[in-house]
């Protein structure tokens, strides 16, 4: 079996050999593959990243961060604004762990102050204000900081007469802040009403998932409401609804395609087409002087 003979006797020993024969060996490809939640296929991570974090086989849209979302939509040279806001834990809330500890961990893991980023920049030829939610920060939940940040974005858009775009990705209101979080629904809606009175366009992009108090407020108030394919959008989750009404829900219930069919959305747009779609939409929605 000469074809099996090593040409050189030199080889690199395993730097971390197993302690004994039964020890689990380290897989050197660990972290290079992910499983698609749509087609259940194993995907090579760099291929998915090169495809805008969309499955190249079934087009399932993976979640992406707020920073990635801003990079995809705005031209280079955009500026982050309205930062530096942090929750004060008004209720001194604690369940399994203190709310302060949850905030600290989320801030360390994401590098953000809270579940939102505001930026101003160019989307194609249009100067816009963009708010992008960060789902990995306590489920993208909306507390006082998120509410204040989006309200500031609406005020900034109104004063500068620039279109406002909000990318929603949230599990809903942040109940660790109690009624303070629920008040953000009215606060943001009021700011958007002023934006509407000023006749400045507002577009909401709903991604997976957009639920709870976010859906019940600003996520459905856009002059144009669009979503990514397959996004879960609703108030209560499907499981809660089924348990409440004791009936099986239709196939694809609360997914973006279902909501488009029922008239809750204006369009479902693939991630690779989102920037061009928004630019074309803004061509028809220029702020009225």
- The per-residue pLDDT for range 239-249, each reduced to its tens digit, is 899 999 999 99
**Could you report the per-residue pLDDT of 59-70, keeping only the tens digit for each?**
999 999 999 999
Full DSSP string of 23-67: SPPPPTTTTSEEE-TTT--EEEHHHHHHTTTB-TTT--B----HH
Among 41-55, 186-200, 275-289, name the one with the lowest average pLDDT. Answer: 275-289
Residue 39 pLDDT class (50, 70, 90 cuts): very high
The whole-number pLDDT of residue 23 equals 47
Distance CA 229, CA 89 (A): 36
The whole-number pLDDT of residue 19 equals 54
DSSP state of 263: T
Indicate the angle between helix axes 66-73 and 271-284, nearest 10 degrees. 60
- Please say whether the beta carbons of 274 and 72 come within 8 A: yes
**Could you report the per-residue pLDDT of 105-164, keeping only the tens digit for each?**
999 999 999 999 999 999 999 999 999 999 999 999 999 999 999 999 999 999 999 999
| DSSP reduced 3-state for 126 | strand
Report the relative pairing of strands 224-227 and 267-268 from DSSP bridges: parallel
> Is the per-residue pLDDT at 9 higher than 60?
no
For residue 77, what is the enclosing H or E element? none
| DSSP reduced 3-state for 117 | strand
- Please say whether the beta carbons of 141 and 172 come within 8 A: yes
Distance CA 235, CA 208 (A): 13
- Please say whether the beta carbons of 80 and 66 come within 8 A: no
**Could you report the per-residue pLDDT of 217-253, keeping only the tens digit for each?**
999 999 999 999 999 999 998 889 999 999 999 989 9
| DSSP reduced 3-state for 227 | strand
Report the relative pairing of strands 126-133 and 116-123 from DSSP bridges: antiparallel
| DSSP reduced 3-state for 229 | coil
Buried b or exposed e, range 247-284, using 16+ CB within 10 angstroms: eeeeeeebbbebbbeeebbbebbebeebbebbbebbee
């Amino acid at each position: 079996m000469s074809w099996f003979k090593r040409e050189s006797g030199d080889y690199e020993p395993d730097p971390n050999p197993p302690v004994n024969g039964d020890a689990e060996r380290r897989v050197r490809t660990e972290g290079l593959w992910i499983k698609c939640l749509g087609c259940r296929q194993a995907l090579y991570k760099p291929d998915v990243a090169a495809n805008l974090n969309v499955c190249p086989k079934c087009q399932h849209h993976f979640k992406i961060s707020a920073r990635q979302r801003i990079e995809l939509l705005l031209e280079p040279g955009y500026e982050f604004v309205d930062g530096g806001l942090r929750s004060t834990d008004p209720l001194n809330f604690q369940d399994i762990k203190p709310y302060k500890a949850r905030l600290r961990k989320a801030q360390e893991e994401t590098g953000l102050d809270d579940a939102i980023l505001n930026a101003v920049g160019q989307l194609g030829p249009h100067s816009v204000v963009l708010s992008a939610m960060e789902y990995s920060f306590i489920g993208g939940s909306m507390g006082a900081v998120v509410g204040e940040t989006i309200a500031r974005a609406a005020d900034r858009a109104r004063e500068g007469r620039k279109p406002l775009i909000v990318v929603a990705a949230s599990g809903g209101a942040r109940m660790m802040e109690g009624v303070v979080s629920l008040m953000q629904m009215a606060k943001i809606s009021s700011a958007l009403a002023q934006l509407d009175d000023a006749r400045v366009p507002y577009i909401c992009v709903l991604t997976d998932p957009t639920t709870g108090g976010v859906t019940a407020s600003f996520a459905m108030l856009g002059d144009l409401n669009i979503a990514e394919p397959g996004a879960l959008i609703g108030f209560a989750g499907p499981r809660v609804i089924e348990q409440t009404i004791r009936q099986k829900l239709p196939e694809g219930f609360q997914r973006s395609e279902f909501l488009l069919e029922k008239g809750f959305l204006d369009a479902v747009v693939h991630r690779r087409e989102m920037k061009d779609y928004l630019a074309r939409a803004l061509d028809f929605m220029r702020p009225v002087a």
